Amino acid sequence: MIRVLVADNISNDGIDILRRSTEVDVKLKLKPAELISIIGDYDALLVRSQTKVTTEVISAGTKLQIIGRAGVGVDNIDIEEATRRGIVVVNAPSGNTISAAEHSIALMFALARNIPQANASLKAGEWRRREFTGNEVRNKTLGIIGLGSVGAEVAKRARGLEMKLIAYDPLISIDRASKLQVELMPLEQLLREADFITLHVPLIESTRGLIGDKELKLVKPTVRIINCARGGLIDESALIKAIKEKRVGGAAIDVFPKEPITESALFDSDNIIVTPHLGASTTEAQTLVATDVATQIVDFFKGQPVKHPVNAPLISTETLAILKPFLNAASVIGRLASQLTEGQMSSIQIKYEGELANYDTNSLKAAALEGILGEISDERINVVNANLVTARRGISVVEQKEATCKNYSSLITIELTTSTGVTTVAGTVMRDELHIVRVNSYWFDMVPTGGYFLFSDHRDCPGLISAVSKVTGDADVNISSMHVGRLKPRGQALMILVLDEPLLEEQLKQILAIPDVYSAKLVKL
Ligand code: NAD
Ligand code: MLT
């Protein structure tokens, strides 16, 4: 049974989905050491933003195959380490978009009308109206930094409030911005023109400290800044200083560089409103993100494509249905080529001919590499880390595609180059069944149903097959079927004996001693 650890508080709707097909443990508020000590028992981990999925956690998760993030930001997960170890990371990028946008708008109004301060004052027994006089947002300029999912939803809502919209986002097309009726401009210009600034960028190296002392020197003294994206985007000390010096009117902060946090210099300023990372905290958003991620985890263990992979290529259900039988084929062809080859591997060529060439072959490549390298390493290799693993080993991987194929509708050919030469194996799928059709220069047709295979290269001459089968017979090894490919009559030939039992080294030596036998290799598929 698949075991899933839910380490942060997620909606029961998501947990119910998981419970239908997996064993779920919900263990909240685990200390890092506690998480590390138990993670080895689980196949999947599901978190929100509180649990830090560090290198140490991932290394201890020896069975982990997938990490789900019920939300959009994955800055609490060491994606690089997960990728290195072939662990798929999925998130739920859209479920909380509206809630985050609405919270940003709510904070903008809270700032414009001093709502939290007035609330606290009245409850403290004061009736102060003049001090809490605010501003309308109508006709004010809203500067949106990051016009992605949340930024765009903020724009749509602010348009209804009759605000002028400007944005800074170097990765958004002018066309998209104009559809949202937003004027794109450089950051400096936005900082100078905006009455309200709202941040909606991820926390990455290039955005850390995006709004610091220098930027705060450009803004209007009345500007109000909202950060519902990530702590760390604004230099907090620079912000507090600018507010104290009346160079910034106020700020609303939902996110902090370290969370949870209950003490901060930000909390001392009357002009700074804070909420404890509530952007996505609505019943609607939590149901959506939890069910989204839970469904992806269930799909993943069913071998179905996941909807929002963070570190794996996206593959559609339709493409997967077509490629599925070829995934097994690529893996078996790789396994066979790897066992037939000798010497130090330097390069791998994977060729797709025919119909297959029209598809995204990333997953086929990963399956082939898993087949090839799985024979010589116990490292987990999959679509997530296949490129990394081969690059680290200094093995070059080349893919080739040809839309036409002479005798088959699709053909996968793997060619391994080693210090001793080149090994080529090709196969196809017919009626959902793998057919190995080529080994080096020999063409034949074999359906490998598993078990042991003796590959023997010899000169095609009478009596040779019976000489080899005498060795297997004497060793009480049963032959279930035989395939032969030859270059020409009485020329060089390849014999494949499918065996019910393995042959010992000693029997292989006896076969090699038969005159006209050039090679004898036992393969297990
Ligand atoms: P998104 O990926 O859809 O959008 C991010 C946008 O930022 C993209 O358009 C990108 O082009 C832009 N961008 C990247 N680097 C930039 C830079 N240096 N300058 C300007 N723009 C840049 O992400 P999203 O779903 O809109 O989420 C935005 C942020 O909000 C994320 O950090 C996310 O984690 C956070 N978030 C917080 C909450 C919350 O509870 N407070 C909820 C949801 C999302
Ligand atoms: C997110 O990145 O999705 C948000 O920060 C929401 C959250 O996890 O609380």
Closest CA to 517 of 449, 469, 453: 469
Share of the chain above pLDDT 90, in %: 84
> In the block, which residue shows the tokens 């000590």?
37
Atom of ligand 1 nearest to the CA of 75: 34
Under 8 Å between Cβ of 411 and 325: no
Longest CA pairwise span in the chain (Å): 111
Q: What pLDDT is stored for residue 319 in this prediction?
A: 86
> What is the pLDDT averaged over residues 262-268?
97
pLDDT tens-place string over residues 319-376: 888 998 999 999 999 999 999 998 888 899 999 999 999 999 988 999 999 899 887 6
Atom of ligand 1 nearest to the CA of 171: 11
pLDDT tens-place string over residues 188-198: 999 999 999 99
Ligand number with the minimum distance to the CA of 254: 1
The rounded distance, in Å, linking the Cα atoms of 516 and 45 is 58
Q: Which residues are catalytic?
A: 230, 259, 277
Q: Is 336 left (phi over 0), alpha (psi -120 to 50) or beta?
A: alpha
Q: Which CATH superfamily is domain 317-520 in?
A: D-3-phosphoglycerate dehydrogenase; domain 3 (3.30.1330.90)
pTM of the entire predicted model: 0.81
Q: What pLDDT is stored for residue 376 in this prediction?
A: 67
Q: Is 283 exposed, middle or buried (0-12, 13-18, 19+ CB in 10 A)?
A: exposed
Atom of ligand 2 nearest to the CA of 277: 9
Domain with CATH 3.40.50.720 in the chain: 3-95+284-301, 97-274
The rounded distance, in Å, linking the Cα atoms of 261 and 517 is 75
- Domain 3-95+284-301 annotated CATH 3.40.50.720: yes
Q: How far is CA 412 from each of CA 62, 103, 444, rounded to the nearest angstrom?
A: 32, 52, 15
Q: Please tell me the CATH code under which domain 97-274 is placed.
A: 3.40.50.720
Residue 280 CA to ligand 2 center (angstroms) comes to 6
Residues with CB under 6 A from ligand 1: 72-73, 93, 96-97, 100, 145-151, 168-172, 200-203, 206-207, 228-230, 254-255, 277, 279-280
pLDDT level of residue 395 (50, 70, 90 thresholds): confident
* Alpha-helical runs (H) found in 70-148: 79-84, 97-112, 115-123
Residues with CB under 6 A from ligand 2: 48-49, 71-73, 96, 277, 279-280
The rounded distance, in Å, linking the Cα atoms of 319 and 325 is 11
pLDDT tens-place string over residues 123-180: 999 999 999 999 999 999 999 999 999 999 999 999 999 999 999 998 888 888 999 9
Domain with CATH 3.30.1330.90 in the chain: 317-520
